[in-house]
Amino acid sequence: MRHSKTISSHLAGLLFTALFPLGLPSSATAATLPNGTISPIIDVNSGLCLGVKGSSSSSGAQLQIQNCSGSDYQKWQVSLDASNWATIKNMGSGQCIDVTNQSAEPGTNLQQWGCSGGENQTWNISAQGNGQYAIISKYSGLAVDVYGARKENGSRVVQYTWTGADNQRWTFPSSSSGSTNTNTTNTPFGFAAGTTGGAGGQVVTVSTPDQLENAIRGNTPRIIRVNGIIDFRGNRTTSAGCTYSDNNCRYNGKQEKILDRLGYCDGRQTYNITYDAAGPEPMRVGSNKTIIGIGARSGIKGKGFYLRDGVSNIIIRNLSITDINDGLVWGGDAITVDNASRIWIDHNYIARIGRQMLVTGWGTAKQMTVSNNYFDGTTDYGHYCNAKHYWTMLLIGENQSITLANNRIRNSSGRAPKIDSGIVHMVNNYFDGNYGGGLQGVDAYMVMEGNYYTRGNNFAPISSVKSGTLFAPLSSTLGQANSSCFNVLGRACVENYDENGQRNFALSGNVMNAVNSNGSWRSGLRATKPVSTATVRSFNFGPQGNIN
C-alpha cells in the first residue's frame, strides 16, 4: 500500500543538494531532451532497455532492464514542465516512473504507477556528455540505477546515491537532441560528441598565412575565424620524382606524378618535378581550437592541417581546403590526424589534393566525427586518367573511433574510404560519380547505415573487406539486422541503398558483439541517429553561409 506522506519542496531541494557531491545541478535547468520525446531508455553499462516487468499494465509493476525488443513497454515519453522537471510515462501501460512507497532510501525499487504529478514521479534529466543522461528524483535526490551494476536481462532498477557510474547513465536514442545525426546541427555528434574546440577562448579573425599559423599554435583555447581565401602557394621547389598514373596514361595531356619517396619510383624513370613547397609541410594545430570559415567562401589553398602528438579538442568547420599540388602524390594532404582525439571536421569542401583528402595514422584518431563535408575528386589528373581522384580517405589510426556521417564523396576512384583498425560508423553518406573501388576494410570494425550509392562506371561500393568486420544492412536484410540494432543501439537499423547491384553488404554478428563489449564504441554509435536514406541526396554539403 502506498504511503500518503509528502515531502516539502524545500526539503527535497536540501536532499538533492546534499546527495550531489559530483556537481550535478540542484534544479532541472540542465534537462536537454526535447519536450514530448518518445524513446527507449538504454542503460550505458549493459546496453539493455528500461522496461516494465512482464509487460504489465498494472500499478506497482517493477522496472527492470531487458533485452531491447522495440516493445511499447520499453518506450517512454518525456514531458517537461516550465522548470524542465520531467515526468516519464511508459507507452505500453500509460503509467509513470514512480519511487515505490515514496521512499527516500537508497536501493528502493522503482515501479510504474498511475501518473499523479507528485514529486516522487518527477525527475531531473541531466546531460552528462556523449549523449548520456543522469535521471534524478526530485523527491529523494537519488539517481535511477541498475542494482549492483548488473548486465543480465531482468535486473532490477532502483534509486541510489549518484556516483556517475555507467549503471546510472542512460541514453535516449530516439530523441532529437544535439547528439542526433542532422545535416544542420551546430553541435558535434557521434564519436566527437562533447567536443568544444576553442569555446570560451579568445576570438581572432585571420586573413593571411602568418596570422593563421600563429593563431592555431599552442593549447590555449581560441576561436580562429578565417576571412576569405588564404593562399600559401607561390614558393616553388624542385625534387626528383616519376610518373605514377596507371600504365603511364594521360588525361588532357596530364599524368599523375609521385615524388621519389619510400621506393615508389624504383624501376621507374625519374626526373625533376617542380611544385609548391608549402604542400608537404602542413600546419600544426594545437589543442582547444576552433578553425571556422566566415561565410561560404572562405578557406585555404596550397596547405593542409596536421593534428598530432596528443592534441585534443579541435574543430575544423566551414572551410574550403583546396589546390595542394593537385596530381602529385606526396605533394600534400588536406587533413592529417596522427595521435589526436576529440575532433570534429564539419561542412568543409576538399578538392584538388595531391595525396589524401583525409588521413589518419599511425597514431590514433579517437572520438572523431567527419560530417557534412564535400570530398570532390574532380581533377585534371587522376590515377586512372579519368578526371577522378584516387587518394580519398586513408583511415588507419591505431584503435581509432570515427563517425563518418552526411558527407558527399564525388568523383573518387579509390580509397572511399580505406580503413584499418578500430571502429568506423559510416552513416548517411552520399556517393555519386565514383569509379573503381569504394570501401576497403582490413583489421577494423565497420558499421554502415543509410548510405546512398548512385550507379558509377565500374564502381564497387564495397571493393574488399576482411571477413567478420562489416555490418551493413540492405532492405533485404533489415529484418535480420534489427534484432542486433535494438539490442546494441537501442533502435532500428537504417538500410543502405545501392544502385550498382552489389552483394558485398555483409551482416556480421561479430561487429555488433565487438561494439556491445566496448562501452565507448557503444556510446559513440548511439550518439548518432541515422535518418532515412531517401533524404541523403538533399543534404547541404560543404561550407554554408549560415554557419558561424
Domain match, 256 and 356 both = yes
The answer to whether residue 255 is domain-embedded is: yes
Domain boundary among 145, 171, 197: 171
Give the three-state DSSP class for 487: helix
> Catalytic residue among 169, 222, 410, 415, which?
415
Domain match, 116 and 239 both = no
Q: Tell which phi-psi region holds residue 167, choosing left (phi > 0), alpha (psi between -120 and 50) or beta.
A: alpha
Query: SS3 for 240-302, per residue?
Result: EEEECCHHHCCECCECCEEECCCCCCCCCCEEEEEEECCCCCCEECCCCEEEEECCCCCEEEC
Domain of 60 in residue numbering reads as 37-171
Give the three-state DSSP class for 489: helix
Please, which residues have CB within 8 angstroms of residue 513's CB and are 6 or more apart in sequence? Answer: none
The answer to whether residue 468 is domain-embedded is: yes
- Distance, in Å, from the CA atom of 373 to the CA atom of 368, rounded to the nearest integer, reads 14
Which helix (H) or strand (E) covers residue 129, if one does?
strand 123-129
The answer to whether residue 10 is domain-embedded is: no
Closest CA to 19 of 170, 168, 127: 168
- Distance, in Å, from the CA atom of 221 to the CA atom of 314, rounded to the nearest integer, reads 10
Give the three-state DSSP class for 233: coil
Give the three-state DSSP class for 156: strand
Domain boundary among 144, 171, 198: 171
Domain match, 498 and 393 both = yes
The answer to whether residue 23 is domain-embedded is: no
The C-alpha cell at 398 is 591505431
* Contact indicator for 24, 137 with CB cutoff of 8 Å: no
- Distance, in Å, from the CA atom of 165 to the CA atom of 149, rounded to the nearest integer, reads 9
Domain count along the chain: 2
pLDDT, one tens digit per residue, over 59-118 is 999 999 998 877 889 989 888 887 889 999 998 898 999 999 999 999 999 999 999 989
| Overall pTM surpassing 0.75 (yes/no) | no
Domain match, 382 and 519 both = yes
pLDDT, one tens digit per residue, over 302-311 is 999 999 999 9
Domain match, 158 and 243 both = no
Domain match, 440 and 348 both = yes
Looking at residue 301, its pLDDT comes to 98
Cell 507528485 identifies what position? 118
Cell 552489389 identifies what position? 502
Query: Which burial class, exposed, middle or buried, applies to 423 when counting CB atoms under 10 A from its CB (0-12, 13-18, 19+)?
Result: buried
Residue 317 is among the residues annotated as catalytic for this protein: no
Looking at residue 339, its pLDDT comes to 98
Domain match, 134 and 269 both = no
* Contact indicator for 114, 59 with CB cutoff of 8 Å: yes
Cell 556523449 identifies what position? 130
Question: Where are the alpha helices (H) located in 134-260, listed in sequence order?
Answer: 209-215
Question: What CATH number is associated with residue 126?
Answer: 2.80.10.50
Domain match, 353 and 249 both = yes
List per-residue pLDDT tens for the chain, 548 residues long. 343 333 343 344 434 444 444 445 444 544 467 777 888 899 999 888 999 999 999 999 999 999 887 788 998 988 888 788 999 999 889 899 999 999 999 999 999 999 998 999 999 998 887 678 999 999 999 999 999 999 999 999 999 999 999 999 998 876 543 344 666 668 899 999 999 999 999 999 999 999 999 999 999 999 999 999 999 999 999 999 999 999 999 998 999 999 999 999 999 999 999 999 999 999 999 999 999 999 999 999 999 999 999 999 999 999 999 999 999 999 999 999 999 999 999 999 999 999 999 999 999 999 999 999 999 999 999 999 999 999 999 999 999 999 999 999 999 999 999 999 999 999 999 999 999 999 999 999 999 999 999 999 999 999 999 999 999 999 999 889 998 999 999 888 999 999 999 889 999 999 999 999 999 999 999 999 898 898 899 899 999 999 98
The answer to whether residue 204 is domain-embedded is: no
- Distance, in Å, from the CA atom of 136 to the CA atom of 116, rounded to the nearest integer, reads 18
Domain match, 159 and 243 both = no
Domain match, 247 and 163 both = no
The C-alpha cell at 288 is 582547444
Query: Which burial class, exposed, middle or buried, applies to 27 when counting CB atoms under 10 A from its CB (0-12, 13-18, 19+)?
Result: middle
The C-alpha cell at 546 is 549560415
User: Which DSSP symbol is given to 108?
Assistant: P
Domain boundary among 171, 192, 208: 171
Question: What CATH number is associated with residue 253?
Answer: 2.160.20.10
The answer to whether residue 147 is domain-embedded is: yes
The answer to whether residue 138 is domain-embedded is: yes
Domain match, 240 and 387 both = yes
CB atoms within 10 A of CB 7: 17
Give CA angle at 484 (479, 489), nearest 5°: 115
Domain match, 140 and 65 both = yes
Torsions phi, psi for 231 (to 5 deg): -110, 115
